[in-house]
Amino acid sequence: MVEPKWKQKLAAADDHAEKTRQRTLLAQEEYKQRQSALQRQQGNAMSEVKPLRDLEFVPYLNEDGLIADCSEPTAKASVYAIFDNEKVLQYVGVSRQVHPSMRLHFARVPSKCSYVKVQNISRPSRTLLELTREKWIEENGVRPSGNDGGLEQSIWENPLDCKPMMTDEEIKKFEEAGAGPPKAKVLKNVARRIEAQLEKDFAAKNCKDRLRFDPKLKEKGLLDLKN
């Protein structure tokens, strides 16, 4: 005897509800397992985080006026904190190559680079690196300006954009210049002016390191070190 259609529909609905319940329970169990694994990972990472206060202040420039090389042969990544002349925290970064990163920061904001603290990590994980950075910032009590998530952080982490620093005269020349090479020439001259000021800042810090800016970027109004 064939069951009425309403009973068939009811049975199908019950079967669908049961399958949905089973899928939900499975998803919840998988989520719990992932969270448990993440907590174990974070717990292991926490034990490897060195407090910022326990690390030694290293002068950004060594006795020869060169940017300090705080790297270690066995390190695969580093977390580093940069301080100004008053030892006020300015920026906390993560890098696979800490020395080149320190050179870039000094070239962009030399006045704020006087001391550095570094934790080199031989077996890094994204969790450990990010956790160390955030714990240092939390330990500092105030988020440093270089980690503001905005303009200041962009200055620390990206090529220096000289266009916002153009004088009224430079803006006029740029607007009047034709497209292509003429505008590029104006931007290059702006970049050279900012470069000259930065070189004075390098000299004021007694920096003897050779910091050369990429000439091709200058035509775009940008300053960054040449590889």
3-state secondary structure 185-222: HHHHHHHHHHHHHHHHHHHHCCCCCCCCECHHHHCCCE
220, 112, 113: which is closest to 159 by C-alpha? Answer: 220
Domain end residue (candidates: 129, 157, 185): 157
Q: Note whether 102 and 180 are same-domain residues.
A: no
Range of the domain at 199: 161-223
Q: Note whether 194 and 217 are same-domain residues.
A: yes
Query: Is residue 43 in some structural domain?
Result: no
SS3 at position 61? strand
Q: What is the mean pLDDT of residues 165-172?
A: 96
The pLDDT of residue 103: 97
The pLDDT of residue 38: 53
Query: Is residue 185 in some structural domain?
Result: yes
Query: Is residue 187 in some structural domain?
Result: yes
Q: What is the mean pLDDT of residues 137-148?
A: 96
Report the C-alpha gap between 50 and 79 in whole angstroms.
Answer: 10
**82 φ/ψ angles, rounded to the nearest 5 degrees:** -110, 135
Query: Is residue 33 in some structural domain?
Result: no
Is the pTM value of this prediction over 0.75? yes
Averaged pLDDT score across all residues of the chain? 90
Q: Note whether 113 and 191 are same-domain residues.
A: no
Q: Note whether 142 and 175 are same-domain residues.
A: no
83: alpha, beta or left? (left if phi > 0; alpha if psi -120 to 50): beta
Q: Note whether 97 and 69 are same-domain residues.
A: yes
The pLDDT of residue 137: 97
Structure tokens at 218: 């200058």
Q: Note whether 122 and 217 are same-domain residues.
A: no
- In this predicted structure, which of 28-37, 65-74, 155-164, 184-193 has the lowest mean pLDDT? 28-37
Q: Note whether 144 and 71 are same-domain residues.
A: yes
The pLDDT of residue 46: 56
Q: Note whether 74 and 168 are same-domain residues.
A: no
Quick one: CA dihedral 196, 201, 202, 203, positive or negative? Answer: positive
Domain end residue (candidates: 103, 122, 157): 157
Domain end residue (candidates: 157, 187, 206): 157
Number of domains composing the chain:
2
Residue 178 near residue 86 (C-beta atoms within 8 A) = no
pLDDT digit string, tens, across residues 210-219: 999 999 999 9
pLDDT at residue 43 greater than cutoff 60 = no
The pLDDT of residue 189: 97
pLDDT digit string, tens, across residues 80-133: 999 999 999 999 999 999 999 999 999 999 999 999 999 999 998 999 999 999
CA angle 191, 197, 200 (to 5 degrees): 140
Q: Note whether 146 and 67 are same-domain residues.
A: yes
Report the C-alpha gap between 155 and 162 in whole angstroms.
Answer: 11
Q: What is the mean pLDDT of residues 138-148?
A: 96
pLDDT digit string, tens, across residues 52-69: 999 999 999 999 999 999
Q: Note whether 182 and 136 are same-domain residues.
A: no
**Residue 182 or residue 32, greater confidence:** 182
Query: 19 falls in which pLDDT band (50, 70, 90)?
Result: confident
Query: Is residue 103 in some structural domain?
Result: yes
Query: Is residue 183 in some structural domain?
Result: yes
Q: Note whether 136 and 191 are same-domain residues.
A: no
Query: Is residue 36 in some structural domain?
Result: no
**CATH number of the domain encompassing residue 81:** 3.40.1440
6-37 b/e with 16+ CB inside 10 Å = b? eeeeeeeeeeeeeeeeeeeeeeeeeeeeeeee
Q: Note whether 115 and 197 are same-domain residues.
A: no
The pLDDT of residue 177: 92
